[in-house]
Structure 1
C-alpha cells in the first residue's frame, strides 16, 4: 500500500509502532522495521548513552527505516538531539512539549519530523512549526494523554479537516478493524502502542505484559491530569492516586506520591502493584504475547479483510 505515510517514511505498511517508555527498545523497533512498519526507539526512558547504544544496535539489526521518539519536556534533550544527528537517524517523533523548540534544528539537518498532539489547537501549531506529519492521539491511548479527553473517533476527523500534512491516528488502535476505521476518518496511517507493548521483543517486564493480557474492560483510568495526564492500569499505586485526586490533592502532592522512577519500577522491573503501569484501553482486547512481526502481519491482514468485506456491502 502506497500513500503519504509510506512514502514519507519509506516503509511498506502505514503502521507505526509507538515510542513507549520502557517498552520500545532496539529489539522492538528493529523487529517492526524488518516487518515493514516503522519501528520507534523510545528515548523517554533512556539516558543519552543508553539511547546511543540502542540506536547503534538497531542500525545493526535492520537496514529499514526506524525513528526515535523524544519527549521534549524530559532532561538531556540537547544531548539526545546531538546523538540523533551524529548517528544519522532520519526520522524523529517529538512529543510532550513545544515543537517550535527543535523542528527547525532537525529539519535543517534533513531529518523528517513528526509531532504528537491530542487536540486541534496543537495540531495547527505543529503544522505551523513545519513538522512533516502529526500523530493525533485520542483519549483511549496509554501513557501521556490529552487533558480534553477527546476520543480518537472525534479527534481524527477534526484534525484531518484543518491540516494539510499527513495525519497518523493513535489511541485505541490495536487491530485491523480499528486501523480501517481510522483511515475512514481521514488518517493516512496509524500508530500502535499497547499491542506492541506485549510483543516478545518489547523490553517491558514479563509480569507487566501478563498484567496487560489479563486486563479487562474498565481496568485502565486516565489520572494525574494536574501533573501530566497518564492512563494507568489499576493496581495499588493507581488506587492511591485516584483516592488522592478524589480528596482534592494538588499538583505538588501528586508529584510527591508519584516519586521517582515509578514507571520504571512497574513497566521495566515488574512491580505490578507499586509501579506505574502505563497502557491504553485496548489492553482489554489483547490476549497473547506474540512476535512483533506476527502482530503487524495480523493487523494488516485483518485490515485488508475488513476493507474487502465493507466494499461488498450492499446499501
Structure 2
C-alpha cells in the first residue's frame, strides 16, 4: 500500500480515503492521531492491525464540535458542558456514558463508556467537518512506541500500512491529551496531560481525583495508556530523579542522555549522544517523544537516561509518559 502525504489543498482526497474505509493520520495540538470512521467496525479494526494494538484498548472518538458528539453519548451532563465550553477545542478528552448501539464495540472495548475529544487544529477540524462523521484518533504510531509529533514520525512507523497522512507540521504540545472520566462522581483524571486536575476542578467547582492505580491483565482499561507498556524505544529508559545523579553515572558510548540544556552542557558524553529537552518543563513536554525517537533510530544506544521533574501537577503528564517508557526504572 502506498502511503500518501497530504497538504491542506489535498484535504478532499484524504476525506475520500476515510469515507471509503481507509486509514489517514492527522495532526492535533498534542500528537498525531490515526483516523478511521468511528461508525465503521471494519475501518476501526484496521487501526488495531496497523498499530499492532491490543483490541481491548478502547479508542478516543475525535469530533469537529460538541454537536457531532451528541448522537453518540447517552447524555451530556452539565459537568461536561462546562468543560467543553472552557477547554474545547483543546487537549482535553472527556469520558461519558455511550449511547447503546451507536458505536461498534471495537471503539468502546465493550465498555458502556466512550471518550470524546475535539482537538485544537484547524486542518483536522476541516477534515472531520468535511467527512461529516467522527473518527477514532489513537496516536499514529506502532503500539508501545513513542507517540509521533511530526508527519515524518508517522511515516517512519506506518509507511505502507495506512492510506495517508495529513501533514500539519510539528505538534505544539507534544504529549497526549488529558483524559477525565465524567461517568463517575467525583470526576477522575485517567491520564494526565497539559490541562491539570486543578484546572478541571476550578471549572467544575468540585473535587477531581487522579487515578494512580494499575489495570490488571484481565481488566479492560477505560481509556488509552492505562494498561500496556507505552511510549518506549528499543533501548532501556531510566528516569534520573535528581540532577546531581547525572555526575555519578558511568556513561559510555552506548548511553544516551536526555536532559535540559543546563544539565547537558557539562556531561562527559559525545554530542550525538545528547538530546536537549529544552530550558524548562514546558519545553521538555514538547520534546520528550522526539528525544525517545531520536535514540530509537540509534541501534548502538542500549540505555537512555532521562531527566525527571518534580513540579507537582504541572509535571504529572511528563512523568506519566516517562515512567511508562522506563517501565518504572529509576536511578
Q: Decide: shared fold, TM above 0.5.
A: no
Higher helix proportion (structure 1 or 2): 1
Q: TM-score, normalised by structure 1?
A: 0.28
- Higher RCO (Cα < 8 Å, 6 or more apart): 2
Rg (Cα) greater in structure: 2
